[in-house]
Amino acid sequence: MNLDVLSISNEVKEALLHHKPIVALESTIISHGMPFPKNLETAKKAEQILRKEGVTPATIAILNGKLKVGLTLEELTYLAKKGRKVIKTSRRDIPYIVSLGLDGATTVSATMLIASLASIKVFATGGIGGVHRGVSETMDISCDLEELGKTNVAVVCSGAKAILDIPKTLEYLETKGVLVIGYKTDVLPLFYTSKSPYPVNIRMDHPKEIAKTMKTKWDLGLKGGILITNPIPKEYEMDPVEMNNAIQKAIEKMNERKIIGKETTPFLLEEIANETQGKSLDANIHLVHHNCYVAAQIAKEYYSEKL
């Protein structure tokens, strides 16, 4: 690839050179997931959690057409303040954003791809995209699932976003050969709650088990990511009935306004936050930070010489 397009911060370069643990972070959550200044506070704390654990944060975005791996505080602040004026960028959008020298806030799929280009193996986020409700009419399936099927990055999340069709999302992941690990859980957490009727492929209770599985998969030449699902801490989880009611109202409003494509998730998350008087936003922030902590433990094990 054109190496001039990939811009890695000195901090991340140093970690790569000395084989130190690194965790990638996405930027859509900054520009499209939360209002200012909550988004900036959340992004800064995510990086602080990683550094406190001895892990280098690598927040990823596209700025002036450059694939940026590791952002400065000034760049984080720029994304946070500009908000939805920054283009929400998945894998398909990268050539357009880069060729025209634009700014892009990277989704899970784009963050995975750019992390892989920079040889970063662990990525922490809130929740992945998946198969949307009403897929038989809309055929709306997030390319996050495709990326998980082919890109060698382990994604730590709190499951698929609660607005999705969870059973179909799990079926799609199975079709793509993606291993779904429950971290200290036997079921797939449902983003805002740890309660779920859907079993994961396997439960693992120790970061070292997960790190060994990652290494073994890729050493065997098996392409694709691993999904590590980490439940939201119980003290922050929300009542499933309240959440389902809020989601249903948000979906009805979305359908009335005929909102489709990549605008659906930001719209639904904002509407759900309004319906829950901000409780869903607070839960989202707590689960993201908890995922950063767990990703840090996995990254430390993965980069350990003892593995």
pLDDT at 307: 60
Cα–Cα distance measured from residue 283 to residue 88, given in angstroms and rounded to the nearest whole number? 22
pTM above 0.85, yes or no: yes
**40 in any annotated domain:** yes
State pLDDT tens for residues 4-18.
Answer: 899 999 999 999 999
**74 in any annotated domain:** yes
Range of the domain at 77: 6-234+289-302
Write out the H or E segment, with its range, that includes residue 174. helix 166-175
pLDDT at 139: 78
Would you call 161 a catalytic residue per the annotation?
A: yes
**110 in any annotated domain:** yes
Catalytic entry in 26, 47, 271, 275: 26
Cα–Cα distance measured from residue 258 to residue 264, given in angstroms and rounded to the nearest whole number? 10
**42 in any annotated domain:** yes
pLDDT at 306: 59
State pLDDT tens for residues 111-159.
Answer: 999 999 999 999 999 999 888 777 777 677 889 999 999 999 999 999 9
pLDDT at 66: 97
Catalytic entry in 88, 161, 262, 300: 161
Strand pairing of 56-63 and 66-69?
antiparallel
**243 in any annotated domain:** no
DSSP-derived secondary structure for 279-294: HHHHHHHHHHHHHHHH
DSSP-derived secondary structure for 20-38: --EEEE-SHHHHTSS-TTH
pLDDT at 54: 98
pLDDT at 261: 66
Q: Which residues of the chain are under the pLDDT cut of 50?
A: none
Supply 61's token pair. Answer: 């975005």
Report how many domains make up the chain: 1
DSSP-derived secondary structure for 107-139: -HHHHHHHHHHTT--EEE-S-B--BBTTHHHH-
Q: Tally Cβ neighbours within 10 Å of residue 255.
A: 12
**149 in any annotated domain:** yes
CATH code: domain of residue 71: 3.40.1790.10
Cα–Cα distance measured from residue 161 to residue 221, given in angstroms and rounded to the nearest whole number? 30
